[in-house]
Amino acid sequence: MNLDKFEEATEAVKKVTLRTKLIYSEYFSKNSGNKVYLKPENMQYTGAYKVRGAYYKISTLSQKDRNKGLITASAGNHAQGVAYAAKLYNAKAIIVMPNTTPLIKVNRTKSYGAEVILYGDVYDEACDYAYQLAKEMGYTFIHPFNDLDIATGQGTIAMEIFKDLPTIDIILAPVGGGGLLAGVAALAKQLNPNIKVIGVEPDGAACMKASLEAGQVLTIDHIDTIADGTAVKTPGNVVFPYIQEYVDEIITVDDCELIVNFLDMIENHKMVVENSGLLTVAALKKLKCKDKKVACILSGGNMDIITVSSVVQHGLIQRGRVFTVSVQLPDRPGELLNVASIIAKEQGNVIRLDHNQFVSINRNSAVELTITMETFGHEHKQQIVDALISAGYKPKICQPNKIYD
């Protein structure tokens, strides 16, 4: 991956990409102590950066190889990139996706004319099956990350970052299999050897960190993360040497941080960014520096509504904006009104109420009232609990089962 190749790829991907200029974030800058710029690849036509590598790779193929039909495996974003690029070249595309792939990614992939096959629970299982089909049917396999042409196409992101902000100090890139990180790091270090390039992956799928620490490509045993786009067990052996040479550090983040940052991104930048794309902003608090210019690559924004709903509700709970409290009280007129009055006085907003008369044999002795309410945060939440205690109740905070019907 040399500068000539990156320049060639940069010109090629202009045909299929939007120019996603850096966005300065006052919010993330203030919270991190650095000058944070967002690279919004979630705004691409296909909803993610993956179209860069897919299109550039397909552009380098011979017409004979394209005519064989193109096949790949993907958790969603590479699938859409290949399907879209194949459509532009009038080539047949077959995409193998894990059964866990969000519906929006499956439907969008089909909308570009690709044939979608759902197989396996994680990317690696889908990839093995795609290889099998390629061998049996003679298809041309387009790997989502373990390919230097793919990585070169993804690396064009770094070219755009440098054009927008030549004095950038740090680039944060999500990492699953390593194609994006290898391409971005290889180009960035050639343009400025002093820049720091940091990969970010979820705690529950930290295959790259484990491999770098071992000095060789490793396969992790188990994946457990909501960041489906980076849920990879084995990093690419072709791109791995470039990551070893050019990447300064790997940071891992917990899924809970992704949930909180999803809300932060919506509230402060009015953008929907998928969990894998949020890895970079979630890592900002783990940087051991201040006053540096940091570019965070937001790799994609393809989320189905059910996932969005789930992440929002979990985020509200984590922030203390919604909580559930259970109190036991005598089953007599006025008790429910009394509890409601206490909550209203403290400005809690009740959104769900359950009245259970069967917690005790003698319901005159005790019934259970479970209340879910909206608050202004953890301090306000505690204020309401304290008010209930002062009134003689024994409130117990519970995990909400369902917030909004």
The per-residue pLDDT for range 62-92, each reduced to its tens digit, is 999 999 999 999 877 889 999 999 999 999 9
Beta bridge partners of 96: 73, 117
**Confidence class of residue 335 from pLDDT cuts 50, 70 and 90?**
confident
Are the C-beta atoms of 211 and 218 separated by less than 8 Å?
Answer: yes
Task: Return the pLDDT at 305.
Answer: 84
For residue 404, tell me if it sits in a domain. no
Same domain, 292 and 394: no
Same domain, 281 and 336: no
Instruction: Answer yes or no: is pLDDT of 356 > 90.
Output: no
Instruction: Answer yes or no: is pLDDT of 342 > 90.
Output: yes
- In 69-178, where does DSSP find H-type helix? 77-88, 103-111, 123-137, 148-164
Instruction: Answer yes or no: is pLDDT of 205 > 80.
Output: yes
Task: Return the pLDDT at 332.
Answer: 78
Average pLDDT score over the chain: 92
Say what the pTM is.
0.86
Cα Rg of the chain, angstroms:
25
Task: Return the pLDDT at 122.
Answer: 81
For residue 238, tell me if it sits in a domain. yes
To 10 degrees, what angle do helices 179-191 and 148-164 make? 50
Task: Return the pLDDT at 134.
Answer: 95
Same domain, 242 and 263: yes
For 39, 342, 381, 401, the CA distances from 317, given in Å and listed in that order, are: 29, 21, 11, 11
Indicate the number of domains in the chain. Answer: 3
Task: Return the pLDDT at 101.
Answer: 82
Sheet with 93-97, edge to edge strand ranges: 115-118, 93-97, 70-73, 140-141
For residue 403, tell me if it sits in a domain. no
Task: Return the pLDDT at 400.
Answer: 72
- Which pLDDT tens digit goes with each residue over 140-159? 999 999 999 999 999 999 99
Residues annotated catalytic, as ranges = 50, 299
- Which pLDDT tens digit goes with each residue over 106-139? 888 999 999 999 999 888 889 899 999 999 999 9
Task: Return the pLDDT at 68.
Answer: 95
Say how many residues make up the chain: 405
Same domain, 289 and 347: no
Residue finishing a domain among 141, 176, 209: 141
Same domain, 197 and 245: yes
Q: Which whole number is the average pLDDT over 305-315?
A: 86
Same domain, 324 and 241: no
Instruction: Answer yes or no: is pLDDT of 404 > 70.
Output: no
Domain with 374, as residue range(s), is 320-398
Task: Return the pLDDT at 309.
Answer: 85
Higher-confidence residue of 399 and 283: namely 283
Residue finishing a domain among 110, 141, 172: 141
For residue 211, tell me if it sits in a domain. yes
Same domain, 362 and 340: yes
Same domain, 171 and 308: yes
- CATH number, domain of 243, equals 3.40.50.1100
- Which pLDDT tens digit goes with each residue over 221-235? 999 999 988 888 999
Same domain, 202 and 334: no
For residue 405, tell me if it sits in a domain. no
Provide the percentage of residues in the chain whose pLDDT is more than 90.
73
Q: Which of 404, 398, 196 is nearest to 294 (CA)?
A: 196
For residue 271, tell me if it sits in a domain. yes
Higher-confidence residue of 281 and 400: namely 281
Task: Return the pLDDT at 361.
Answer: 60
Same domain, 60 and 99: yes
Task: Return the pLDDT at 405.
Answer: 53
Task: Return the pLDDT at 90.
Answer: 93
Q: Which whole number is the average pLDDT over 203-218?
A: 95
**Confidence class of residue 364 from pLDDT cuts 50, 70 and 90?**
low
Q: Helix or strand or coil: residue 218?
A: coil
Provide the percentage of residues in the chain whose pLDDT is more than 70.
97
Task: Return the pLDDT at 74.
Answer: 86
Same domain, 45 and 55: no
Same domain, 19 and 131: no
For residue 183, tell me if it sits in a domain. yes
Asked which of 120-134, 164-178, 234-248, 280-294 is least confident by mean pLDDT, the reply is 120-134
Q: Which of 362, 380, 405, 256 is nearest to 325 (CA)?
A: 380
Residue finishing a domain among 141, 176, 203: 141
